[in-house]
Amino acid sequence: MGESPRSPAPGAVVLALEDVGKSFGAVAALRGAQLELRAGEAHALVGENGAGKSTLVKVLAGVHGPDTGRVLLDGQPVHLDGPAAARAAGIAVIYQEPTLFPDLSVAENIFMGRQPLGSGRRIDRRELHARCAALFERLGVRLDPERPARGLSIADQQMVEIAKALSFDARVLVMDEPTAALSGVEVERLFTVARALRDGGAAVLFISHRFEEVFDLCDRITVMRDGQWVATEDAADLTVDQVVRLMVGRDVSSLFPKQDVEPGEVVLSVRGLTRRGVFSDVSFDVRAGEIVALAGLVGAGRSEVVRAVFGVDPYDEGSVEVAGRALRPGRPAAAMAAGIALVPEDRRQQGLVMELSVERNATLTRRWQLAKGGLLSSRAERATAAEWSRKLQVKAGRLADPVSTLSGGNQQKVVLAKWLSTEPRVLIVDEPTRGIDVGTKAEVHRLLSQLAADGLAVVMVSSELPEVLGMADRVLVMHEGRLVDDIPRARADEGSVMLAATGQGRTTAVAP
C-alpha cells in the first residue's frame, strides 16, 4: 500500500457531533463525544474496544438517540430519530458484515423499496438494472446487477452496500471495521472506491483496528477512549506509536514480544493432509517452543486445515501425529486427549456458548477431569474458572454472568482459559486477536510468547501481517489450498509473505 494522495483542500464541515452523551442504564457509553467530518476528507475513528466507537456509529446511523449534546448537519441541529432519518440526512453506514437479502438480485437489494416503476406500477427491470450498472460503473466495480446476492463475498457485499449509499446520494459514508474480513487485494479495492468518493466531495468515516490502513487511507484521525473524545489530529502529524498511546493512555512498549526459544522435539506432525476441494497435500511439523504462523489470503484454506487437524472437520487423506502417535481423524475429543487445543476463528459461534456463564464456558473442556465419581460440583467449576480468570486477568463482573456480557477481549481470554486449562502440548490459535483492543492484543501476544517459552508448540493462523511477522518463528504460507512456502523468521517480511500468499513466490511444495 503506497502513500495516498491527500485531498486538495479540506471542505466545509458536513457533520458534527458536539458533546454527545449516551447512557445505557447506569453505564455511560459516550460522555462528551465529539466528531467533525468535512466534505472531501477521509476521517479515521480509532479507540480500543469499548471506547464507544460502535455507539457513536449507532448515533450517526439513527439507531440510538443521544441523551445529551447535538448532532449538526451543515451547521444545523438535526434529530436522527431512526435509520430512515439518518439516510434522508445523507448518512450511510457500511457494516463489517452487510446483511443483504440473499435470494434477491444485487440490483433489487440496492433499490429495495424504491424500484423504478414502469407502466401499471410494475417494476421496470431494465431501468433497475441499468441504474445499478451505472452505479457500479461509477464505483469501478465489476458485478452483475442481475445475480442473486447469495454467494457474494463479504467484499462484494460491502460494494453493494456502498452502491446503495451512492444511490441515496449519501454525503457521509461511515465504514465500521469494513476490512476485518477482507484480503489485501479486496482492501485495496475498497480503498480505491473510498478515495474516489472522498475526492467526489463525500466525507468518509473509517473505523479500523489496523493502523497501516488508517494511515494509508485517512487524512485526519480522531481518537476515543472510555466514551470520550481524546484527540483529533492530521494523520501526517501522528505516528502509530502516538496513536496507540492516545488510545490506551500509556505506552504499549512492544506489541509483539516474541522471545527467542530454542525449539525442542517435534510435537505436531501433519503429513499429506487433503480435503478434496478445500486443501490438498498439506504437510508441516511444529516443534515444542515454536510459534508457527499459518499465513495466506482469506479463503486460502488455513482455518480449514487447523479445523481438520483438531478433528472438527473431516479429511480425506493424510495423517496427523502428536508426539509420534497417530490421531484418529474427525474426533475433537481424541485430539484433546492427545494434547491439542484449538482456539477457533469465530469466538461467538465456535469459541463460546454465549448464553452460558463465564465459569461454565471456562470449564466446558475440563468437565470430565473436574468431576469426582462422575459428579460435577459448581464449587469445583467456580474454583477452576476463578483461578484461570485470575491468571489471564479476565475482567468479568461475576463468573456466573453469561459470557456474552463480557467485552470481546475478555471473551477471547475466556476462550484461552478454557483451552489452556486442558494443559495442551499443541495450542492452535485461529485469528487470536481479531476484533480485540490493542491492550488485550498485547496481553495475548505476551501470553503466547510465554507459553512457547514454556515448551508449548503454537500454531497461529492470522490475517494480520504485523502479528505474523512479529510473533512467528516460521511462517507457513498457504495459497489456494496448498502450502506454498515455509519462511524462517530471518527471511520473513511483508514482501516474501505476500508474494507467496498471492501465489507469486516459490511454488514448489514444501517438504518439512
**Under rule CB under 8 A, which residues in 429-468 are in contact with other proteins?**
437, 439-440, 447, 450-451, 454, 456
Q: Which is nearer to other proteins, 156 or 345 (CB)?
A: 345
- 370: its cell numbers: 473436574
Spell out, one character per residue from 60 to 99, where the chain touches other proteins: x when CB under 8 A holds, - when not.
----------------------------------------
Grid coordinates representing 140? 469501478
Cβ-based nearer residue to other proteins, 94 or 358? 358
Which of these ranges, 11-19, 112-120, 191-199, 336-344, lies near other proteins under the rule CB under 8 A? Answer: 336-344
Distance (Å, whole) CA 455 – CA 469: 20
| Span near other proteins by CB under 8 A; candidates 82-90, 98-106, 406-414, 461-469 | 406-414
Q: Which is nearer to other proteins, 349 or 507 (CB)?
A: 349
Binds other proteins by CB under 8 A, chosen from 62, 66, 329, 409:
409
Between the CA of residue 235 and those of 139, 175, 193, 238, what are the distances in Å? 25, 18, 20, 5
CB of 25 to other proteins, least distance (A): 4
78/383 with CB nearer other proteins: 383
Q: Pick the closer one to other proteins by CB: 329 or 344.
A: 344
Shortest spacing between CB 367 and other proteins, in angstroms? 4
**C-alpha span between 387 and 377 (Å, rounded):** 16
| Shortest Cβ 34–other proteins spacing (Å) | 10
Report which secondary-structure segment, H or E, holds 499.
helix 494-501
Residues 237-256 that bind other proteins (CB under 8 A): 245-246, 249-251
Query: Minimum CB separation from other proteins for residue 315, in Å?
Result: 16
Distances (CA, A) of 274 to 291, 305, 389: 23, 9, 38
Cβ distance 196 to 228 under 8 Å? no
Q: How far is the CB of 331 from other proteins (least distance, A)?
A: 8
Query: Would you say 50 or 145 has its CB closer to other proteins?
Result: 50
> According to the binding rule CB under 8 A, does residue 395 interact with other proteins?
yes
114 or 395: CB nearest other proteins = 395
Q: Alpha-carbon distance 39 to 256, whole Å?
A: 37
CB 17 within 8 A of CB 69: yes
Kindly give, in sequence order, each residue whose CB lies less than 8 Å from that of residue 311, ignoring residues fewer than 6 positions away: 327, 328, 329, 330, 331, 332, 333, 334, 335
CB of 490 to other proteins, least distance (A): 28
| 183 lies in the binding site for other proteins (CB under 8 A) | no
Which three-class secondary structure state does DSSP give residue 467? Answer: helix
d(CA 438, CA 440): 6
Q: Which residue lies nearer to other proteins by CB, 7 or 242? A: 242
Distance (Å, whole) CA 340 – CA 151:
33
Choose among 273, 370, 252, 362: nearest CA to 319: 273
Residue 444 beta carbon to other proteins: minimum distance, rounded to whole angstroms: 12
The stretches of 218-374 forming alpha helices (DSSP H) are: 240-248, 302-310, 332-338, 358-363, 367-370
Kindly tell me which residue out of 8, 120, 397, 495 binds other proteins, with binding defined by CB under 8 A.
397
Residues 259 and 455: beta-carbon distance below 8 Å: no
- Are 412 and 436 in contact by the 8 Å Cβ rule? The answer is yes
Contact 287, 457 (CB under 8 A): yes
As measured in angstroms, the least distance from the Cβ of 377 to other proteins is 7
Of 276-284, 318-326, 330-338, 461-469, which part binds other proteins (CB under 8 A)?
330-338
Cβ nearer to other proteins, comparing 113 with 397:
397
For residues 178 and 424, which CB has a smaller minimum distance to other proteins in the complex?
A: 424
- Of positions 360, 434, 474, 482, contacts other proteins by CB under 8 A: 360
Find the shortest distance in angstroms from Cβ 114 to other proteins. Answer: 31
By CB under 8 A, the count of residues binding other proteins is 97
C-alpha cell at 47: 479507540
Alpha-helical (H) ranges within 140-252 are 154-167, 184-199, 211-217, 240-248
Q: Does 510 bind other proteins (CB under 8 A)?
A: no
Q: Which of residues 363-392 bind other proteins (CB under 8 A)?
A: 363-365, 367-368, 370-371, 374-379, 382-383, 385-387, 389-392
Query: What contacts 134, CB < 8 A, 6 or more positions away?
Result: none
Q: Whose CA is closest to 425, among 381, 456, 452?
A: 456
As a 3-state breakdown, the chain gives helix, strand, coil percent values, each rounded to 5, of 35, 25, 40
12: number of Cβ within 10 Å: 10
Residues 297-326 close enough to bind other proteins by CB under 8 A: 310, 312
- Which is nearer to other proteins, 43 or 413 (by Cβ)? 413
Q: Give yes or no for a contact between 430 and 373, defined as CB atoms under 8 angstroms apart.
A: no
Positions 1 through 60 that interact with other proteins (CB under 8 A) = 23-29, 31-32, 48-52, 54-55
Choice from 72, 85, 180, 230 touching other proteins (CB under 8 A): 230
**Interface of this chain with other proteins, residues 338 to 357, rule: CB under 8 A:** 342, 344, 346, 349-356
